[in-house]
Amino acid sequence: MKFKDYYATLGVERGATEAEIKKAYRRLAHKYHPDVSKEKDAEARFKEVAEAYATLKDAEKRAAYDQLGRHRPGEEFRPPPGWGTQFGDAGSVFEDVDLADLFAGIAGHRGRGGQRGPSGAMRGADYEARVSITLEEAFHGTEVSLDLTTTEFDEHGAPRRVPRSVKARIPKGVADGQVLRLPGQGGKGARGGRDGDVYLAVSLRPHRLYRVSDHDLFLDLPVTPWEAALGATVKIPTLAGSVNLKVPAGTRAGHHLRLAGRGLPTPHGGAGDLHAIVQLTMPSELSARERSLLQELAAASSFNPRQHLE
Amino acid sequence: MTTDRGEAFGFDEERPLALSDLADLSGLSEAEVLELVDYGALSPADATAGQCVFTVRSVTVARAAHRLREDFELAPDGVALLLSCLDRIRDLEEQLRALRARLPRSAGTGAAGVGG
């Protein structure tokens, strides 16, 4: 079992008072709580902080932790003889056990998510995971593989870490930031309690062509000035393959040309739209013929787009 | 290592959800759910005498309420206030994302020459 320095995690001395521990926890929770933080690795940091606080805020657990002695963080160690029997039902088998599991077993607590029902049935713990998928995967639906380490308890209540792999089928049309539920894929229930769930937060990776807003997609569409002026039919990519788009004569820069139903699918049938945003683009170099024709146009045209500025 | 397979479901449906199921899925007690309803943090789909019916959309809000209550050791009114602020932030972020999506990727200001 690897040692974790809970005092260092909270940034307090080993002799810190209860009030000092609470204050340190709250300061770090404000900084790293995944619901309010934008810090990098906030979720992982908050897990460490919450685990440390769950043990140090409880006098019995803190006493049990202090009796483990001082070790370097990450150092392999074993609790002193008799430690397991002294502290409740924490068990005496320390193989495949995380430090947090030992303290979750003390004082009848099961940590985040596990709940005890009126008949003593224990619902399995819920787990939260994040997954990042491509727009193409969101469009077609996909399967992702999640590696979880769940905590299970034997008939004596001793905890055991169980590595598990869960293949999750993600339905098509998932939106950026959406949370999905995988029923029964969390921690195992005990004494007739139902298994916990996995909650999967899905984010969409940035795409080289499309920007996403809800189920709508936005694409920059480069168009030549003469295509914009005269009208044209251009081929554009969609997530379902290329389609021909009619650029009407007289199209201006910044115009949105909407392709209804060519965005991301929505959960109940239907789909968002694809918006092609027109960008007038000039050749980086003009041929002599192009220059000559443009000069002829400049001489022939009386159009003044800046009339309102005069 | 064991491998399991599961189908992931969204919470964006209008499917009705009983108070007891919402409590079970969120980790809140039924009394806590009803207290959050009183503070306006949760809205029942159909509140009739003696029974509250929600939609599955409420699950994500109720789970966030449970996390915030546990992790910040907040009273229900504090949870409701924080949820309301987070909801406004999410709404503003969504508006920002929608506006950015509408801007051409190359949008920006080029250097302008000044003629005489």
Segment A254-297, tens digit of pLDDT:
999 999 999 999 877 899 999 999 999 999 999 999 999 999 99
Predicted model pTM: 0.80
Q: Which of A19, A135, A118, A109 is nearest to A55 (CA)?
A: A109
A positions 125-184 inside 8 Å of B (CB): 126, 162-171, 174-175, 178-184
On whether any CB of chain A is under 8 Å from the CB of B74, the answer is: no
On whether any CB of chain A is under 8 Å from the CB of B60, the answer is: yes
Which pLDDT does position A85 carry in this prediction?
A: 67
Q: How far apart are CA A46 and CA A48, in angstroms?
A: 5
CA-CA distances (angstroms) from residue A165 to A55, A123, A168, A306, B2? 28, 20, 10, 64, 6
**Three-class DSSP category at A158:** coil
- Read off the pLDDT of residues B49-96 as tens digits, 9 standing for 90 and up: 566 888 888 898 999 999 999 999 899 999 999 999 999 999 999 999
Q: How far apart are CA A104 and CA A1, in angstroms?
A: 15
Average pLDDT for residues A207-236, to the nearest whole number?
96
The b/e string for B86-95 (b: 16+ C-beta within 10 A; e otherwise) is eeeeeeeeee
Confidence category of residue A73, pLDDT binned at 50, 70, 90:
confident
Q: How far apart are CA A299 and CA A293, in angstroms?
A: 10
From the CB of residue B81, how many other CB atoms can be counted at a distance below 10 Å?
Answer: 15
Query: Is B46 in contact with B16 (CB distance < 8 Å)?
Result: yes
Counting one residue from chain A and one from chain B, the pairs whose CB atoms sit within 8 A come to 108
Strand partners, B5: A167
On whether any CB of chain A is under 8 Å from the CB of B110, the answer is: no
- Interface touch A182/B8, C-beta < 8 Å: yes
- Interface touch B102/A213, C-beta < 8 Å: yes
Q: How far apart are CA A117 and CA A259, in angstroms?
A: 53
Side chain identity at residue A274, one-letter code: L
Strand partners, A190: A122
Which pLDDT does position A230 carry in this prediction?
A: 97
Nearest Cβ partner of A50 from B2, B71, B100? B71
ipTM value: 0.80
Which pLDDT does position A109 carry in this prediction?
A: 42
- Read off the pLDDT of residues B3-48 as tens digits, 9 standing for 90 and up: 788 888 776 666 788 899 899 889 899 999 999 999 999 988 876 7
